[in-house]
Structure 1
Amino acid sequence: MTTIPEMLNRLPADVRRTQLIEAGLTIAERSGIASVTVRAVAEQAHVSLGVVHYCFENKEALVAAMGEQLVTQLSGAMREALGAETTESAACLTGARGMRELLHRGLTAMWDIIENTADRQLLTYEITTYSLRSRAAGSTVAGNIGLLQYQVMDTEAAQFLARTAAFTSMAWTEPLSSLARAALATIDGLVLRWLVDRDSLAIIAELDDLAARFTTKAVPL
């Protein structure tokens, strides 16, 4: 009779990697990054130690993948917000007013994910702190995890802003890289504050203000 570990060991490499990343995230949510070890992940995923080592060279590589997974889950919410627009509504979402509306929709969709995954948002900050401490200790691989997180977020935010401008027939007056950095810095602060006080009503107003402020940085084509 085929056992569960044997069945899981036969998964395609990309599916197996996703499984192990989720196992690592589950452990970290429950007990923190320090508790994520190759052995713990193997036990959580019901696979052998060799399977984990085959997919990830070491713990640092696994934690880096975990950080990237957390970021892409959030950015996916914003992409879905744009993709869900119909042709009928698209005709109304043009100019500055349309841009503000679309920015607000994207930010709101992203925030829905944040509120429903508070533990994972806290974990994102923990992974960043882990990376910075590792860098200070001289670990290049682990020290680059934070950089990777923000590179992924910068790229996703810039793409979201570019699509929003194209969708509404507007053009940004500042470099996308600068706009993305400023937006993420604001969102970082909002998430951290919300994790402390859980004031969702304040967040609604702050997201609307963010959309309004960014709309002033664009002009009609």
Structure 2
Amino acid sequence: MNRMSVEERRAQLVDAAMTIAVREGVEAVTIRGVAAEAGVSLGVVHYCFEDKDELLQAMGNSLALVASEPVRAALDVDGDVVELAHAAADGLWSGLTPRRHMRLLTFEFATAGVRSRALRSVAHTHLEQTWAMTRGFLENVAERGNVTYSMDLGFLSRIVAGYIDGIEIAWLVEQDDETAVRSFHALAEYVLSVMVRPDGSPVREHGPEPVS
């Protein structure tokens, strides 16, 4: 059997930690529990991660990447800026159902960071990652659609990320698929409403289009 590299071992341990977190919650993740879940010694875990906080940080990074994959895939299409915005909405929805446990963990990281001083930096870093990824997607759509935004992009990124979180939390509680889909597309329309073409004209002349 080939010996794992450090990166491969770290990935294995993050997967084990995720399994525990999905089953029991983020606060149930411990170095000892991860070692048992992965079938390795405590020394192996400590070799890969200095402490629990570093392990949780790696989990947060993994969650952020998983959440972004469906939107990245959805944007890999040809179309004008309106089609791109709604493709992103479709990507958000298509990624929500199969990743529901991962999204729940994202929100658990946030609330655990509020309660726990040790987890606060982890939660804050994950929040900044979310804003940065959202900004990256908005920049991608704007560049491909040859438009700009009528408000500060950093602030818009926070607004959009906040709306996404709200839609997903509501869906996790209510399991109302239709409302979630409509909400994601309404968010796409909001983003379109703050886009400006090179000649200074808005993409949406009369505000967001209604979402049926």
Structure 2 CA distance for aligned equivalents of residues 54 and 78 of structure 1:
35
Alignment: residue pair count = 198
Query: Of 127, 131, 146, which aligns to 2:109?
Result: 127
**1:203 — aligned with what?**
180
**1:84-120 alpha-carbon deviations (Å, 9 max, x no partner):** 32xxxx3xx2xxxx32321121122122222112122
**2:157 — aligned with what?**
180
Aligned residue for 1:174, secondary structure, equals: coil
**1:159-206 alpha-carbon deviations (Å, 9 max, x no partner):** 100010111111112221111100011111111111100001011111
Aligned residue for 1:57, secondary structure, equals: coil
**1:148 — aligned with what?**
125
Aligned residue for 2:97, secondary structure, equals: helix
Structure 1 CA distance for aligned equivalents of residues 188 and 72 of structure 2:
16
Aligned residue for 2:148, secondary structure, equals: strand
TM-score after normalising by structure 1? 0.85
Is 1:170 aligned to residue 170 of structure 2? no
Q: Which runs of 5 or more residues in structure 2 are unaligned?
A: 199-212
Structure 2 CA distance for aligned equivalents of residues 100 and 178 of structure 1:
21
Aligned residue for 1:144, secondary structure, equals: helix
Bigger RCO (CA 8 Å, 6+ sep): 1
Q: Which runs of 5 or more residues in structure 1 are unaligned?
A: none
**1:62 — aligned with what?**
55
TM-score after normalising by structure 2? 0.88
**2:88 — aligned with what?**
106
**1:160 — aligned with what?**
137
Query: Of 43, 51, 58, which aligns to 1:50?
Result: 43
Is 1:36 aligned to residue 13 of structure 2? no
Structure 2 CA distance for aligned equivalents of residues 143 and 34 of structure 1:
13
Read off the aligned partner of 1:18 and give its amino acid letter. Answer: A
- Please say if residues 92 and 184 of structure 2, whose CA atoms lie closer than 8 Å, have aligned partners that are also in contact: no
More helix per residue: 1
Report how far residue 76 of structure 1 moved: 2.1
